[in-house]
């Protein structure tokens, strides 16, 4: 018989860095989270088909920990067992199912470690929540593994091919900001398309050496598109004219697996936050190397 009461369970964690588009030099994502945490009741926003709310926000030094809660109030499942019995969940009219993502945010470089939960939300919902609250566009971009990040930034490595697959936004305001990505989105929109699949390659056999590689600007474009939630494929191959270096911007994101103490079916809150902090501490050296210099960022 399958036992659903675990003593400890592995959770997948992802790493992101926060960016904003505010012209105010004093604007700070960490301070926005701190401000929300001081409210008696945190706001809830309708994002897509569900309501979301920040909970359990707590600041300690240069760290804020919290929970992004997603509320499901329609199409709710039944409780049941393999013997064929099932029943409706006994919820009040104003209640719904809650799915959670736990996270910690570091003031330094605005790094966030975010618990992956397929039933809850992606980090993009946290971006949208904070954008709604602050009235300024806030995004959290995935942090690449150090080796992939170094190669993508290396001006001596030239792109020779790329593969992309992503859904195009229906709202023109959400088109990619770079010229190349925006033109692709506009082309798809004019053709009434819903998904773009692109494969580009340079002519490495050409007698014209300049045609042996793609424009270096394409590295920034693919990095920006890889940050979109709808992007499922983002690969680029670089070369130094001797060796090729393939980079998968989806698979090469910085991640971690950590054990968390469980109480029945649910993670213990303090144990989850400790796991998030532990994951950050173990990768802090790489994060410092990646973001140590302000000009070493692709977006």
User: Is 80 exceeded by the pLDDT of residue 127?
Assistant: yes
Q: Mean pLDDT, to the nearest integer, of 267-293?
A: 90
What pLDDT score does 169 carry? 64
Cβ burial, residue 141 (10 Å; 0-12/13-18/19+):
buried
What pLDDT score does 219 carry? 82
Q: Mean pLDDT, to the nearest integer, of 104-132?
A: 92
pLDDT in tens, 220-255: 777 777 766 677 888 999 999 899 999 888 888 899
Taking the C-alpha atoms of residue 25 and residue 94, their distance in angstroms, rounded to an integer, is: 41
Q: What percent of the chain has pLDDT over 90?
A: 39
Per-chain mean pLDDT for the chain:
84
Taking the C-alpha atoms of residue 155 and residue 117, their distance in angstroms, rounded to an integer, is: 36
User: Is 70 exceeded by the pLDDT of residue 196?
Assistant: yes
Contact indicator for 13, 276 with CB cutoff of 8 Å: yes
Contact indicator for 69, 96 with CB cutoff of 8 Å: no
Contact indicator for 213, 158 with CB cutoff of 8 Å: yes
The domain limits of the chain are 8-143+255-291, 146-248
DSSP 178: S
Pairing assessment for the beta strands 97-106 and 63-72 based on DSSP bridges: antiparallel
What pLDDT score does 295 carry? 46
Bridge partners of 99? Answer: 70
Cβ burial, residue 146 (10 Å; 0-12/13-18/19+):
middle
Taking the C-alpha atoms of residue 231 and residue 57, their distance in angstroms, rounded to an integer, is: 30
- Can you tell me which residue has the tokens 């959770």? 11
pLDDT tier at 77, thresholds 50, 70, 90:
low
What pLDDT score does 1 carry? 45
Least confident of 24-38, 182-196, 254-268: 182-196
pLDDT in tens, 19-76: 887 788 789 999 999 999 999 999 999 998 889 999 999 999 999 999 999 987 666 5
pLDDT in tens, 139-186: 888 888 878 878 887 888 999 999 988 777 665 655 565 566 777 778
Contact indicator for 113, 104 with CB cutoff of 8 Å: yes
Most confidently predicted of 57-66, 83-92, 202-211: 57-66
**Regarding predicted confidence, which is higher, 41 or 209?**
41
What pLDDT score does 268 carry? 92
Pairing assessment for the beta strands 44-47 and 266-267 based on DSSP bridges: unpaired
What pLDDT score does 265 carry? 82
């Amino acid at each position: 018989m399958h036992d659903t009461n675990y003593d400890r369970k592995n959770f997948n964690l992802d790493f992101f860095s926060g960016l904003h588009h505010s012209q105010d030099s004093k604007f700070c994502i960490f301070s926005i989270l701190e401000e929300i945490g001081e409210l008696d009741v945190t706001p809830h926003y309708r994002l897509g088909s569900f309501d979301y709310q920040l909970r359990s926000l707590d600041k300690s030094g240069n760290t804020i920990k919290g929970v992004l809660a997603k509320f499901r109030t329609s199409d709710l499942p039944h409780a049941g067992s393999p013997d064929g019995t099932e029943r409706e969940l006994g919820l009040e009219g104003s209640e719904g199912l809650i799915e959670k993502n736990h996270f910690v945010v570091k003031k330094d470089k605005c790094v966030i470690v975010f618990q992956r939960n397929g039933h809850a939300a992606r980090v993009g919902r946290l971006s949208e929540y904070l954008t709604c609250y602050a009235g300024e566009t806030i995004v959290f971009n995935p942090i690449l593994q150090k080796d992939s990040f170094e190669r993508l930034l290396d001006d001596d490595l030239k792109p020779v091919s790329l593969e992309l697959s992503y859904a195009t936004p229906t709202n023109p305001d959400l088109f990619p900001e770079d010229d190349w990505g925006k033109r692709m989105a506009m082309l798809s929109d004019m053709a009434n398309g819903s998904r773009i699949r692109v494969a580009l390659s340079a002519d490495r056999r050409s007698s014209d050496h300049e045609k042996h590689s793609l424009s270096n600007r394409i590295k920034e474009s693919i990095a920006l598109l890889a940050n979109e939630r709808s992007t499922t494929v983002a690969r680029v191959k670089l070369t130094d004219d001797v060796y090729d270096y393939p980079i998968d911007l989806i698979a090469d994101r910085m991640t971690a697996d950590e054990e968390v103490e469980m109480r029945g079916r649910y993670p213990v809150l303090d144990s989850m936050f400790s796991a998030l902090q532990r994951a950050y501490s173990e990768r802090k050296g790489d994060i410092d190397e990646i973001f140590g210099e302000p000009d070493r960022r692709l977006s």
